[in-house]
A = this chain, B = another copy of it.
């Protein structure tokens, strides 16, 4: 009799355990299925990536490890400068200004591999409008023709040589802005791009955020006003200035990152001027651009910023 009750009790306990295990199994199955789909969404939609820390909080009970690696996660790991019309390309992330038909900002993550000069080649006239932008907000090749301005890259083509499509993507007109050719796009701006690549060679991992500025000018009478040209039938804005904010990761473990910002006027710049004379306080760039750069880092505590001479960057920072 005792034996029978024991067996029954054992059966009961086993049954309840099995039921509980099955319940938890069901929870886990549903959880992993939703996580997998969420993961696919986050890889293709920058807004989903931006929101992902909050969405992950939706999933409780089981741990969610979101440490897997995809390109956007690398490029945007220190935060989004702004959230207007985010666009994901093969090797950079861009925010598009539909009002001015020029990007707000372009973020890149550069490593020695991506700037290798022998990989990736431009085709013939590779510039092309981005058809994913609605026609009402799109810039076209015709807007630049006979405008007197160069089609200037924001994410430089020379920074994206790892794969053919990386380089091709930089020729979408969303990544292009009207730049003065002689003395700017083919002068100082080009020098700045080469300086960035020299940082990549030295330090290995460099984050760059590039974009246009529309800076106000003081008028007679003391009032301030913003003024900029619009070119082409689609009214593409000609920025008054361009900025680059550069963040260099230290090679040392726990080494501090180093950050500096440049603002160059969209105008012919004399050859002799050193790049360092265009260094600019990053908070000032943020004020004019309406953006926040590398917001995920505690800036005041962590950063050396804007060394006055190039040699000091190379000497003191590593």
Give A contacts to B, CB under 8 Å.
Answer: 15, 18-20, 22-31, 33-34, 37-38, 41, 45, 47-48, 50-51, 54-55, 57-61, 82-86, 97-100, 134, 136-137, 214, 216, 223-231, 235, 237, 283, 286-292
Q: Please judge, given known A-B contacts A25-B23, A25-B26, A30-B27, whether A136 and B226 are in contact too, CB under 8 Å.
A: no
* Chain B, Cβ-Cβ closest to A82: B84
Q: Nearest 7 A-B pairs (CB), nearest first?
A: A26-B26, A99-B290, A98-B290, A84-B84, A23-B26, A27-B30, A26-B27
- Subset of 8 A-B contacts with CB under 8 Å: A19-B19, A22-B23, A37-B57, A47-B50, A136-B286, A225-B229, A225-B230, A235-B287
> Are the C-beta atoms of B83 and A47 separated by less than 8 Å?
yes
Q: What is the CB-to-nearest-CB distance from A15 to chain B, in angstroms, rounded to a whole number? A: 7
> Are the C-beta atoms of B230 and A227 separated by less than 8 Å?
no
Give chain B residues whose Cβ lies under 8 Å from the Cβ of A82.
84-85, 98
Select the residue from A27, A50, A99 with max chain B CB neighbours within 10 A.
Answer: A99
* Chain B, Cβ-Cβ closest to A35: B58
Give chain B residues whose Cβ lies under 8 Å from the Cβ of A214.
99
Given contacts A26-B29, A26-B30, list 13 more A-B pairs with CB under 8 A: A15-B15, A19-B19, A19-B22, A25-B26, A26-B26, A27-B29, A31-B34, A34-B34, A55-B55, A136-B287, A137-B290, A226-B226, A226-B227
Q: What is the CB-to-nearest-CB distance from A197 to chain B, in angstroms, rounded to a whole number? A: 29
* Chain B, Cβ-Cβ closest to A96: B290
